[in-house]
Amino acid sequence: MISNPIKISVVLPLFNPRKDHLKECIKSLVEQEYQDFELIVVDDSNKNEDYVEIFKSFSKDKLQYFKNNESNWLELKNISF
């Protein structure tokens, strides 16, 4: 039996999602029985949507948010892989 379970990293790429779909996705993740995870959000949206309210349901130690722009696009592609 493993005494220290593996931490899971969930990578969520975004491209202009509907807010209700994004909320449902995060809700399903938060409600999982297994809680040793982190959520890595890579936002490649071309809209200036504000997703901060949606992400407030996560503790900061479980969420990493990266917004794509022209200066960091290659770095974000590497993070998401």
The per-residue pLDDT for 73 is: 58
Report pLDDT for 79: 60
CB contact at 8 A, 26 and 54: yes
**Per-residue pLDDT, 76:** 61
pLDDT at 21: 92
pLDDT tens digit at each of 81 positions of the chain: 556 667 888 999 888 888 899 989 988 988 889 889 988 888 887 776 777 778 876 777 788 888 776 656 566 666 655
Long-range interactions of 75-80: CB distance < 8 A, separation 24+ = 76/42, 76/44, 79/40, 79/42, 80/11, 80/13, 80/40, 80/42
